[in-house]
A and B are shown apart, each in its own frame.
Chain A
Amino acid sequence: MADQVTGHDAGHVVGQGRYLYAISRGLDPLVLADVPGLGDGRLDVLEHRGLSAVVSDVDLEEYGEEGLRRNLERLEWLEEVARRHDEVVHAVAEHGPVAPLRLATICLDDIGVRRRIDEWHAALEQVLDRVEGRREWSVKAFAPRAAAAQPAESAAPAEGGAAYLRRKKAETLTRAQGEEQAMQVAEEVHARLSAVSEASRRLPPQDPRLTGHVGTMTLNGAYLVDAARGEEFAEAVRAAQADHPDAGIDAAGPWPPYSFAMLEQR
Chain B
Amino acid sequence: MTSSVEQHPLGRPDTQQAGGQISLVDLLDRLLGTGVVLAGDVVISLAGVDLVQVRLHALITSVRDEMAEG
Contact = CB atoms under 8 A, between A and B. Distances in A.
Nearest to B12: A212
A112 B47 contact: yes
Interface string A188-205: 000000000000010110
B1 A75 contact: yes
Interface in B1-56: 1, 4-5, 8-17, 19, 22-40, 42-48, 51-52, 54, 56
A250 B16 contact: yes
B24 to A, nearest CB: 6
Nearest to B70: A209
B13 A213 contact: yes
Contact of A209 (B5, B26, B47, B48): B5
Contacts of A265: 37, 40
Contacts of B15: 138, 140, 250, 252
Given A107-B45, A253-B19, A265-B40, A203 B29 contact: yes
Interface residues of A, number: 61
A104 B13 CA distance: 28
B42 A105 contact: yes
B45 A112 contact: yes
Interface stretch (A35-43, A62-70, A160-168): A62-70
> Interface centre among B16, B44, B64, B68, by most A CB within 10 Å?
B44
A169 interface: no
Interface of A: 8, 17, 20, 63-65, 68-69, 72-73, 75-76, 78-79, 82-83, 85-86, 100-109, 111-112, 115-116, 120, 138, 140, 201, 203-204, 206-207, 209-214, 220, 222, 250-255, 258-263, 265
